[in-house]
A = this chain, B = another copy of it.
Amino acid sequence: MAITFYDLVDREGRRYSPYGWRVRMALAHKGLDATVELCWHSDKKKLAFSGQHLVPVLLDGGKPVSDSWNIACYLDEAYPDRPTLMDGPQGRSFAGFLNSWTDTIIGRRLVRSLYLDILRSLHPQADAREFRRRREERNGATLEALHANRARDFEDINRAMLPLNDLLARQPFVAGATPAYPDYIVFGTLQMPRRLGIEPLGPQQDSVMRWRDAVAKLFNGLGDSTS
């Protein structure tokens, strides 16, 4: 069956969507090939078939699946003979909790402090004015004001991540001895600043940094690829 994967792209061809990265790693983990269709912010027409306008979207043999969490669950259900992303009910609960935790505690602070960098890197055909308008409305502040608050956001992120650093001081991967979807959730979110050349992690995150390097090297260095 042919899989098409719709992901986000910036003006330099970089893909930095946290959710796109989760799916990208998940596909590699399951050993599934996919044709990639790149979209830019506000390139919505391309995704209309999925009934919504956000990447990532997977089109698997004509069946559209949107939202990275739905896609991960779908891949484990549709391809049970391939390596599992989430192992058993407790593994799925772990991924479910991490998904919420990463998005609300880490990702929200991270993305708002990076909006100005994302704006500068938007694809030339993307609607930069609309990008700014929506995000300033949602956050009740200009992108410049959000950018100015970055140091404090990064401090909060580093404090909140200490339990993850504790876990990774005791075991090589978030999922245990080998990597799985819980790893890709957090890694995906950390790929966003990484692709933009920004380091949010402080020195206290020594185990997280070691782990991030190890995850980037998986699947022939997929996490380090320039596209």
Residues of A that sit less than 8 Å from B by CB: 86-98, 100-101, 104-105, 160, 162-164, 166-167, 170-171, 174-178, 180, 182
Contact = CB atoms under 8 A, between A and B. Distances in A.
A178 B89 CA distance: 9
A90 B164 contact: no
How many of these chains are in the complex? 2
Contacts of A100: 162-164, 166-167
B90 A180 contact: yes
Contacts of A98: 97
A97 B87 CA distance: 16
Given A90-B88, A176-B89, A104 B162 contact: yes
A139 to B, nearest CB: 17
Contacts of A90: 86-88, 90-91, 94-95, 175-176, 180, 182
Given A87-B90, A96-B167, 14 more contacts: A87-B88, A87-B89, A88-B88, A89-B175, A89-B177, A89-B178, A90-B90, A90-B182, A93-B94, A96-B170, A97-B167, A100-B162, A100-B163, A101-B163
